[in-house]
Amino acid sequence: MYFLTIRVSTPGIDAIAREGVRFEKGYAGAPICTVSRAALLTGRYPWRFGLEFTPTPGAMAKVAGELFGTERALRPLILNKDSAAKAVPFDDQGMPPSEQTLAELLKPRGYHTMHIGKWHLGQSTAMRPNNQGFDESLNMEGLLYLDQNDPGVVNAKQDFDKVSKFFWDNGRASVSFNGGKQFKLPKYMTDYYTDEALKAIRSNKNRPFLLYLAHWGPHTPLQASRQDYDDLANIPDHSRRVYSAMVRAVDRSVSRLLKTLQEEGLDDNTIVIFASDNGAPAYIGLPEVNQPYRGWKLTMFEGGLRVPYVAKWPGRIPAGSRYAAPISSIDVLPTLIAAGGAALPKDRVIDGVNLLPFIAGAKTEIQPPRALFWRDGPYRAVQEQGWKLIVSERPKKNWLFDLNRDPIEQTNLAERDLQKLAHLQKLLLSHHADMPSPLWPSFLELPVEIDKTTNQKQLPDDEYTYWNN
């Protein structure tokens, strides 16, 4: 099989790594957006409070069977109509208000807290950003970067991408501010969010602030600004060019933010963290996007969980640092809470660890070994000291990898190292033993080929897994 790999220059993201620390084993809290974002904002495994599945609009639930159809008959979609009928209303699917977010914990220290972009942690008033600790929220309400027919946008529609078909058919390009009336995006979403982020920085430069800038890019649907698309004329494939242009826009956002912090004299006293909430999906049809790792968004393989993680704090984090121990989204909250001089809540388990003692200039400690966990119904994973176990019910299978020797998960050792298999199985059982039931039921199970994109032909011997939602 021939892969045409296109590398997009990312000077903004690279600058954070060059001026700070690159986490070489950065993991998302989940292989899917909502659960991962809840982990970042609470420092907790989200299944501790029942957030296990991704909120799904009722319209999408109703048409799921039609969207995915039966053409992939080797491994069909499994739709539980009873669960769909009993599901919690979409607006109420999200992070419980009883959870304490990073914003809520920093506010007592005088921080002005701001959210820009994606939320996807509940649409009800109680679950929206303004009631989860954010003083200001410019909230993404639609699914499009710009109206499809806008002359400033280039679309890449793919017949095999059933997820984006729903977005194209039902999406709009709109936002709201502090829960007010929705309004149309005035320009390409990534650039607009960046403009507003720069205004927020300048307006709050004389007081402590938290800015949670949650870009939608490069999430589907594939839409690029016309300028970015035109600037990448060296990429012949249309979809790959659009996707690359979307990445380019996000990186430009990072560059503009860093420049503004410098111009306003805030650079030395500001922590900047860049990360993603999951790996790229198979349904965009670009085989190389997660290389060299196997798997995609929705899977527990490295391609679904390994994400870029870089951070900078001049004077505190040595420039050009590399951090080898595995870290996760759950570590962001305790790290920033420590940096901001705030206190962690004592009435609940905080799963993440404060990374500052291990990455700051006067570091004197070594991070103790720990296990990291992931969960999606019966589909679960654990990693400890370089060993990783993935378990699934559909298919009923274990995958055991020694990531120290096999970081791209090519050799399944589940039938060879029974002692290590038993040890990690015991860790999984212990971790999940007292977890509550999900706040809403899974209504579908979606097959995902581990080594193929959605538009590649299925074969009986292909390895696959099922994602529960």
219 catalytic per annotation: no
Sheet holding 78-79, edge to edge: 78-79, 444-449, 464-468
Give residue 407's identity as a one-letter amino acid code: P
Cis peptide before 96 (omega within 30 of 0): no
DSSP 306: B
- Give me 84's structure tokens: 């769909």
Decide: helix, strand or coil at residue 415.
coil
User: CA 95, CA 353: separation in Å to the nearest integer?
Assistant: 21
Contact (Cβ atoms closer than 8 angstroms) between residue 171 and residue 57: no
Chain centroid to CA 80: 26
Burial 193-228 (b: 16+ CB within 10 A, else e): bbebbbebbeebeeeebbbbbbbbbbbbbbbbbeeb
Burial zone of 259 (CB within 10 Å; 0-12 exposed, 13-18 middle, 19+ buried):
middle
Distance of CA 340 to CAs 196, 310, 333, 426, Å? 24, 19, 10, 37
Catalytic residue among 33, 115, 215, 219: 33
Q: Which residues contact 47 (CB under 8 A, 6 or more apart)?
A: 35, 375, 432, 435, 436, 438
Catalytic residue among 112, 115, 120, 215: 120
Please state the length of the chain.
469
**E strands present in 98-198:** 112-117, 136-140, 153-156, 174-177, 183-184
The position carrying tokens 């609470």 is: 42
Contact (Cβ atoms closer than 8 angstroms) between residue 450 and residue 294: yes
Cis peptide before 218 (omega within 30 of 0): yes
Chain centroid to CA 400: 24
115 catalytic per annotation: no
Point out the residues that are catalytic: 33, 120
